[in-house]
Amino acid sequence: MKYALLDRGDSLSRELAEQFHALAQYKGLKEDASSPDVVVSIGGDGTLLQAFHRFIDRVQDVAFVGVHTGHLGFYADWKKNELAQLVDLMATTEPQKVSYPLLRIQIVTDDETRSFLALNEFTLKSMEGTLVAQLNVNDEPFEMFRGDGIVVSTPSGSTGYNKSIGGAIIHPSLEALQIAEIASINNRVYRTLGSSVILPKHHHCDIVPEPDEPLSIWIDHLTMQLQGVRSIICTVAEDKVHFARYRPFPFWNRVREAFIGSNPDELEHKRPK
Ligand code: NAP
């Protein structure tokens, strides 16, 4: 089993990375930074996003594992004091592979169509204040959006930016994408749906901005500024991202721990008999 490791770059993550390499060498795991079977990220969910984009060309061939240096994350579900246990399991156990849907984004300009994959989401904003863009669903006009921006997220990204703007949390076993609004302008003149929309895999949405509107585009943590965009087509990607699960940590437990906190006594008390 060959592994690659990416750390956040802070002193704790670097120290843990050194510990990991030492433990891995002792257990006979081989480091291979270019064609690994497992990619270990040490830092947080943001570090795993970076690892995903670094290995995006091999996304079908690798499985990711995340170690969190702070609180438990959504992609980083191993704690810093569990490194030895993780390495031991990596050396001795065949992990369960869990696959999550990704978002395919095609940005169409006069000259070309560029294609991207997102693990969390695609975010569109205007460089000049209010974003004005038509939203089409399955090639039919749906609404004219005016506001701060639009976020199209994957199910695993639904706990990120999407949640902060009122989108729903979607279980990553559902192959879907979610369109959520950032501060839409709604009055007697301008009208959008106002709630987030969830599309199944066989549907798609096109965002058609005003001609020559300078756009700020985010794909996960990566950003670019573009002008002359004719449309942006969002679909559930054919490719999926794979995670190596060496122990179960159900998605809804992660949601509860991240956003609600656990009060096991009280929850145990109310458990149906
Ligand atoms: P960042 O601004 O440094 O961190 C954003 C926060 O989002 C971090 O706490 C990160 O967790 C957390 N996060 C990332 N993916 C998540 C997920 N799937 N579920 C729950 N939390 C998640 O940016 P970054 O670390 O480079 O991450 C980029 C992501 O930030 C974007 O993909 C977007 O989802 C999120 N974001 C959120 C907002 C907002 O909520 N208002 C605004 C912009 C971007 P860790 O601390 O574990 O790294």
**Which tens digits make up the pLDDT trace of 201-213?**
999 999 999 999 9
Q: Judge whether 45 counts as a catalytic residue.
A: yes
Separation between Cα atoms, residue 86 and residue 187, nearest integer Å: 54
- Please tell me which residue, 273 or 235, carries the higher pLDDT value: 235
Q: Tell me whether residue 110 is annotated as binding.
A: no
Q: pLDDT for 134-164, tens place per residue?
A: 999 999 999 999 999 999 999 999 999 999 9
Is 78 in contact with 139 (CB distance < 8 Å)?
no
Q: Which CATH class is domain 101-239?
A: mainly beta
Residue spans per domain, the chain:
2-95+246-270, 101-239
pLDDT above 80 for 237: yes
Chain-wide mean pLDDT for the chain?
Answer: 95
Separation between Cα atoms, residue 147 and residue 164, nearest integer Å: 16
- Residue among 7, 45, 206, 220 flagged as catalytic: 45
Residues with CB under 6 Å of ligand 1 are 44-46, 49, 73-74, 76, 120-121, 156-157, 159-161, 164, 220-221
pLDDT above 70 for 264: no
pLDDT above 70 for 182: yes
- At residue 269 the predicted structure's pLDDT band, cuts being 50, 70 and 90, is low
**Which of 52, 49, 70, 184 minimizes the C-alpha distance to 125?**
184
Q: Which atom of ligand 1 is nearest to the CA of 120?
A: 32
- At residue 70 the predicted structure's pLDDT band, cuts being 50, 70 and 90, is confident
Q: Tell me whether residue 156 is annotated as binding.
A: no
- At residue 270 the predicted structure's pLDDT band, cuts being 50, 70 and 90, is confident
Q: pLDDT for 160-177, tens place per residue?
A: 999 999 999 999 999 999
Ligand 1 centre distance from Cα of residue 160 (Å): 6
Ligand 1 centre distance from Cα of residue 255 (Å): 14
- Please tell me which residue, 262 or 42, carries the higher pLDDT value: 42
pLDDT score of 189: 85
Q: pLDDT for 35-62, tens place per residue?
A: 999 999 999 999 999 999 999 999 999 9
pLDDT above 90 for 268: no
For the entire predicted model, the pTM comes to 0.96
CATH superfamily of 2-95+246-270: Probable inorganic polyphosphate/atp-NAD kinase; domain 1 (3.40.50.10330)
